[in-house]
Chains A and B, each alone.
Chain A
Amino acid sequence: MAKVRGAVVVDKEGCKGCGICVDVCPHDVLDLNLEVNSRGYHYSYMKNPEACIGCSNCGVVCPDTCLTIYRVRV
């Protein structure tokens, strides 16, 4: 069975740490970082990058459009 791998690139400065991407991710890939960006928000990051399937749910719901999604078949 072909496996799909994905990756999420977060614009750290654009992220406001609302956590909606973490809530909608079906594979618990994303989480909010303990570190903050220059505006003091706990930006989103890939906690579990191996599990990402590149479904782009996180990108679709992101209110600040700071997620870029890549997907590849391996």
Chain B
Amino acid sequence: MDIKDIIKPENLVYQKSDVQIDTIMHYCPGCTHGVVHKILSELIDEMGIQENTVGVAPVGCAVFAYNYIDVDWQEAAHGRAPAVATGIVRTNPDKFVFTYQGDGDLASIGAAEILHACNRGENMLVVFINNGIYGMTGGQMAPTTIDGMVTSTTPGGRDIALNGYPMKITELIAQLPGTSYVTRQSAQNAGAVRKCKRSLKKGIQNVLDKKGTSFIEVVSTCSSGWKMTPVAANRWMEENMFPFYPLGDLKDGSKEPNLSKN
């Protein structure tokens, strides 16, 4: 059978979603942002919520997310995406609001905003891309940089005595009563991408059902910042990041009932 006989519309099994804008992304080759943008676009398309979705973009590489996903977007100051999203969701309670943040944005400068937004149980989805460094600015150490990891500001590897401990922000957030679903996923192979997509779908459904904040961490690579090829970066992540950031659900339910009425 010739290839031309296979390439016919009735045999199509996988193609780019209509929600994803047909443009070349500015991300480096192999960047996890591209994969997460793609599965978010597919889910917005499949769930039919494109007209009702508002995204809040961070400062970081994903600042240009509005060029790639065809929904309404708002850009926030560095780390303040959960605060901006709080305003949007309180004035438009019927919209599906999500923030899309990196680890420098969410875990460092925006740590106060994310903790309090999750503690208030704002009805939104938080997508947290954790690659352990500040990718856009040249690979500096972030709060999530693991012990011994080489970055441009820790050329000898992160030293806990000098630089402090890496922060597991997802574990912190899982303790807060306002969150309904807290999970940690990855996107380095087809199985992981499909699992990550299921988690994002659950998070979106929780927001549509008004269950409180859903928080989804995606352990990611930054092949440029880590100075590796994309395939080697995926291997390095599996060997070094996963033992410290174990994958799986940390909380699955709904936010606590109103405590003051008990």
Contacts and interface: CB of A to CB of B under 8 A. Distances in A.
A30 interface: no
A14 B14 contact: no
A13 B29 contact: no
Given A7-B6, A63-B35, A69-B14, A16 B189 contact: no
A63 B193 contact: no
B261 interface: no
Interface string A37-74: 00001000010010000111101111111011111101
B13 A20 contact: no
A60 to B, nearest CB: 5
A36 interface: no
Interface string B217-250: 0000001000001110010000000000000000
B29 A17 contact: yes
Given A24-B190, A60-B194, A70 B34 contact: no
B16 interface: yes
A74 B16 CA distance: 25
Interface string A12-40: 01101111101110000000000000000
A71 B11 CA distance: 5
Contacts, number: 103
A57 B12 CA distance: 14
Interface stretch (B19-27, B137-145, B147-155): B19-27
Contact of A7 (B3, B25, B35, B231): B3
A13 to B, nearest CB: 7
Band of interface residues on A: 35 or more
Contact of B13 (A14, A24, A56, A65): A56
B14 A56 contact: yes
A63 B32 contact: yes
B255 interface: no
Given A6-B6, A59-B15, A70-B12, 20 more contacts: A6-B13, A14-B24, A18-B231, A19-B230, A20-B230, A22-B231, A23-B231, A24-B189, A57-B189, A57-B190, A62-B34, A62-B38, A63-B25, A63-B27, A63-B29, A65-B16, A70-B6, A70-B7, A72-B8, A74-B1
Interface of A: 5-7, 9, 13-14, 16-20, 22-24, 41, 46, 49, 54-57, 59-65, 67-72, 74
Interface of B: 1, 3, 5-8, 11-17, 20, 24-25, 27-35, 38, 187-190, 193-194, 223, 229-231, 234
